[in-house]
Amino acid sequence: MFHFLLRWMWEVIYFGFHAIVCNVLHCQPVTIVVWCSVIYGASIMQDRDLSEYRPSGSSSSRHVPCSHQLCESSLNCKSSKQQCPYTIDYYTENTSSSGLLVEDTLHLASVDDHKLNTSVQASVIIGCGMKQSGGYLDGVAPDGLMGLGPGEISVPSVLAKAGLIRNSFSMCFDDEDSGRIYFGDKGPPTQESTHFLPSDGKYETYIVGVEACCIGNSCLKQTGFSAVVDSGTSFTFLPNEVYERIAKEFDRRINATITSYPGYPWKYCYKSSSQELPKVPHLKLVFPLNNSFVVFNPVFVVYGIQGISGFCLAVQPMEGDVGTIGQNFMTGYRMVFDREKMKLGWSPSNCQDLADGKRMSLSPNGTPSNPLPTNEQQSTPGGRAVAPAVAGRAPPSKPSAASHTHLPSSSLKFCYINLLPLLVLWHLLVSSFPIDTGTTTHG
């Protein structure tokens, strides 16, 4: 049994994860060291030496021509030999990214029983951003983003098609703002799960159906909704009516004085002592077949100079009937995106160990290792990339593993993290631009 972990990227921030990994040209192979954080943008990178990806500096880099079957913009090309362009317009704050596609080698470490064994190489498509707008100009995704969506061009799709992994992956956020990602992981047999839902008959993003929401021991009526599961969105968004019912019940059960924190996006905030929080009621999502998802930490802790200043229910209302389950709801879980069975799985985890690892087969049996389709192969372009969902902006709840410092509430900055994109490109930087993309897809 093998787990494949990322070992090469150029210090990429992707889907709420901060990965410190070695670049293919200059570093020795190491196990991936990954943490996620809600401190995003320049603040998390202030002590990091960011390195930009330059296709010209990579001996394994190749242009992706318009004739490539994964070039979705081939109709905009003047010739089949022209380098494939891409343009992505997002829903969020007039944010966009455009540039050219290149093909390069992703180096992975296979892990057996938590020990490094062999090195695996796979060709992936990289979108080199040449022009960014909106959030990117404010420091969003300063070192790129990896696409994990169902589309053919995303990294897990390419790895699965090459026969390197099962068509599934997992990610995990712990309560210390760190996390891991495992390609090929289908989760333990004991995990709970629910089916993904199609959008307009297609599985273009990870959508699930919630039947009811519970606060404490009370399950509220008329709180069912559909939601995009998006760990790249820092916080959770619920349809307006569902939000109001949940927030009012939460407020009724909290024994604390309500307050407000200027600049913070949440309505239900409360004062607290500098030492500890009052008892916070459990929040639970109920899925079909009575599968339940207990949110371990639905609040955002506000820190001042003297310590804890207060906390807020880290949920926001949104228009429409499709919400977003963000990173904060996933803390403490191993989240499995099984694209073979089209299921979302979850089980409590400390994000350090995969106790059932020996029983999991990450690589499909008897499947040949198929390379990425060559540039010469002809194909009709697939479905276009989907724009991201609205991302939450909020200050960090506490010092991240990266910073190790308490930030006074007046200095906390809003973060902007988009994840699990149906934009299935992994956007990295080119030398002229400081940032590239952070995306999530809204079905």
**What confidence score (pLDDT) does residue 6 get?**
36
Tell me the average pLDDT across 319-342: 94
Output 441 or 104, whichever has higher pLDDT.
104
List the domain range (segments joined by +) for residue 103. Answer: 3-186+351-403+416-429
- How many domains does the chain contain in total? 2
Question: What band does 432 get if pLDDT is binned at 50, 70 and 90?
Answer: very low
| In a shared domain, residues 203 and 99 | no
* Rounded-to-integer distance, Cα 222 and Cα 98, Å: 42
Residue 443 lies in a domain: no
Asked if 194 and 287 touch (Cβ cutoff 8 Å), the reply is yes
Residue 335 lies in a domain: no
| In a shared domain, residues 130 and 235 | no
pLDDT tens-digit series, residues 196-251: 999 989 998 999 999 999 999 899 999 999 999 987 788 999 999 999 999 999 99
Residue 256 lies in a domain: yes
| In a shared domain, residues 16 and 58 | yes
Tell me the average pLDDT across 386-408: 32
* Rounded-to-integer distance, Cα 390 and Cα 405, Å: 29
Return all residues near 235 (Cβ < 8 A) that are at least 6 apart. 300, 314, 315, 316, 326, 327, 328, 392, 394
| In a shared domain, residues 153 and 197 | no
Is the whole model's pTM more than 0.75, yes or no? no
Residue 305 lies in a domain: yes
| In a shared domain, residues 197 and 182 | no
| In a shared domain, residues 209 and 281 | yes
| In a shared domain, residues 104 and 223 | no
3-state secondary structure 279-318: CCCCEEEECHHHCEEEECCCEEEEEECCEEEEEEECEEEE
Q: Is 82 helix (H, G, I), strand (E, B) or coil?
A: coil
pLDDT tens-digit series, residues 13-33: 333 332 222 222 222 222 222
pLDDT tens-digit series, residues 155-202: 999 999 988 889 999 999 887 767 788 889 999 999 999 999 999 899
The CATH number linked to 203 is: 2.40.70.10
CA–CA distances in Å: residue 137 to residues 51, 406, 425, 435: 18, 26, 19, 7
Tell me the average pLDDT across 321-327: 93
**What confidence score (pLDDT) does residue 300 get?**
93
Residue 339 lies in a domain: no
Element (H, E) at 245: helix 240-253
| In a shared domain, residues 135 and 39 | yes
Q: Which residues partner with 234 through β-bridges?
A: none
Residue 92 lies in a domain: yes
Residue 390 lies in a domain: yes
Output 381 or 62, whichever has higher pLDDT.
62
Residue 362 lies in a domain: yes
| In a shared domain, residues 31 and 129 | yes
| In a shared domain, residues 141 and 101 | yes
**What confidence score (pLDDT) does residue 118 get?**
72
